[in-house]
Structure 1
Amino acid sequence: MAIAASFLWILNSCKPASPPDVAKVAHSERVNTSDKQATTLLSKTFDRLWHDQSWLAPQPSQAVLDQCESFSSGLIKTTWQPVTCTRSVKATAAFDGDFAAHNLKLHKALKSMGWIASGSAIPDVITNYYRPMNGRPQGSPAHAYGPSDLPDVTYSRAPQIAMNIRWLTRGSPLDLTSSPRSGEQTVTRENKQLDTQTVTKALRNHRYVIVFNLSSRYFDATQSPSPTTSPSTSYCACWSGNLCTCPGG
């Protein structure tokens, strides 16, 4: 009897856990409220960026990808991770002039606003890649090394917001599709693709295009709900200068 009971206990302990109801969470009032806050935060981030960096000419089309999901782990017993939701917005801007000088100015502005590079920062990319390699033959078929060959850079800023940056030049591949992840435990709340024709047109009239991808993990089922629906509670956006949505800021 003891052996049989132990065997049944083992079978029961190894039984796969039931996945969370991602669809129910994704369409809940709490997620809807948090998503609105994230949307406001990302919009204000871009507005501030365009205002401060007057050398950038923002393009009209933006891509949006908003998803809630849960992942499973475990070889013997399946464990499901808490549901998280992330909103990403991709925007482009054209510019001309001194590539290095403009982007170093951008790095300085981001740093002053509290953004921290995750890995290589813009000055590292300029020093280690752009300056020593710009114009040299590269790849097959051979082409002159340029901004579109530079590695991406990523900056982060609390709470759970990230900014990925890359560059395009005329003739470079326009891989700007925001592909939603698919899976049984993934719910796509919004998926809007960027109009690549606006980028193609921008590159006919300008020398460079910079691609910003802002993302915010705005919901985590392990975190307690915010006591208020005010965007300033969960998404504090204090900038250098006089724009501050933080309490008491």
Structure 2
Amino acid sequence: MSRRKGFFESRNPVLQEEAFQKASHETLDSGLIVRGEKMTVQGAINKTFILAGIMLLTAWVGFTNPNPIFIWGGAIAGFIVVLIASSRPHLSPTLAPLYAGLEGLFVGGVSAMYAQFFDGIIFQAVTLTMAVLFTMLFIYKAGIIKVTNKLRSGIFMATGAIALVYIVNIVLSLFGINMPFLHDASPIGIGISLLIIGVAAFNLLLDFDNFEKGEQYGAPAYMEWFSGMGLLITLVWLYVEILRLVAIFSSSD
């Protein structure tokens, strides 16, 4: 199996095989991509910073004006935007900033909700999220953990299982039923939260690897926005899970 094919068999939930495969095939078949129009790692990093800036601005709006509409509207609309971008990645230069703005409202609203009950929790959660981000970046750049096809598949399956648990929990909550141990203060609940955070952290490795592989295989420049959005999705997931875990420990003090 060639390395090119291995990259296209990525199991990252956002940066799916079809998106990069279709984008790269369009580049190769049409011959329209010229110098300056291909994806680069630096370009993807720059786009990620832009998206993070947009998210921080709207997060401030959501934090200073806590409203359930911001939380649920941002989460649902953001999810819809991600689905559209996944099937039409060439629209990412428009959809990625839109997602960042919507997700900022969600993050800001959720943060405000937790901040009402726990002093200093936002600073702790942000600090821990950044610590995990840079730790995983060091692990990736140092080659301590190699991103192989087997690792990609394992992370994808673990992420899919967690997503299924989330969906079941939401459905059960509509009937007033809470899934046992999920995000509670019991040792099992804390263990589950740590496991989820671990899976989210390993998704960062896939995001980093896709930045490099996108440049290596000449993906079109719009995939920089798509890749940046993928990293942002992982960071938001990681932050929210860490926020919940810190709240569990704070409530037990």
The structure whose RCO (Cα within 8 Å, separation 6+) is larger is 2
Q: TM-score, normalised by structure 2?
A: 0.28
